[in-house]
A and B are shown apart, each in its own frame.
Chain A
Amino acid sequence: QLQLQESGPGLVKPSETLSLTCTVSGDSISSGGDHWGWIRQAPGKGLQWIGNFFHGGSTVYNPSLGGRVTISADTSKNHFSLQLNSVIAADTAIYYCGRHPPYAPFNYWGQGILVIVSS
């Protein structure tokens, strides 16, 4: 059974970099054609897609985040990571990682991790 688990600091200071890792078990992130992505949800708000990592190392990001996003993968550890630079209070959210087939919705999600941006 595929499982995803987010980890990282729960508190980040404004202007610093938010760094999270999604550890995957039950499947290899380097096999198949599925996409691995990050989604976030501000408190009491809706869902926002952040970006995806594809097999082969390609990435695609949400332009609304102004080029502050980097997603990378470590296939030896079977995890992929999110970096969001120059964070502000509006980046406070629950961050989820997930997997989805091409042109299909996310069928696996992590449990989510709350990240608060505050000094």
Chain B
Amino acid sequence: DIQMTQSPSSVSASVGDRVTITCRASQDIGSRLGWYQQKPGKAPNLLIYGASSLQSGVPSRFSGSGSGTGFTLTISSLQPEDSATYYCQQINAFPLTFGGGTKVEIK
């Protein structure tokens, strides 16, 4: 199985801050990576696909980068509504696997 390791597990930042979340794959997955945002009591919502493509309707302050085994999700200017847990997922091989999640809190 491809292991997905996210860091940090949690981050607390102020409105307007730049926040970066890292996801590392245990083997090369090319660009077959997605990022999700999940708010309490809700299903995950797709933010990024193909490692760096912004899903339709997602604010442009979200961006993704990376390929191979190292990926990042960046929120360029944190907003109050961005308080949530973020997950990466590899879709290169079965079984599909997710990172452990990063909880983003607003100071």
Identify B34's interface contact among A52, A61, A104, CB under 8 A.
A104
Contact A46 B46 (CB under 8 A): no
| B92 to A, closest residue via Cβ | A103
Contact A103 B100 (CB under 8 A): no
CB neighbours of B98 from chain A (8 A): 46-49
Identify A110's interface contact among B43, B46, B94, CB under 8 A.
B43
Give residues 17-64 of A contacting B (CB, 8 Å).
37, 46-49, 52, 60-64
Question: Please, could you name 25 A-B residue pairs with CB atoms under 8 Å apart, sorted by A?
Answer: A37-B96, A47-B36, A47-B89, A49-B95, A49-B98, A52-B94, A52-B96, A60-B94, A60-B95, A61-B95, A62-B95, A98-B43, A103-B32, A103-B92, A104-B32, A104-B50, A105-B33, A105-B36, A105-B46, A105-B49, A105-B89, A106-B36, A109-B43, A110-B43, A112-B43
Contact of A107 with B by CB under 8 A? yes
Number of interface residues of A (CB under 8 A): 23
Output the residue of A47, A63, A104, A110 with the most chain B CB within 10 A. Answer: A47
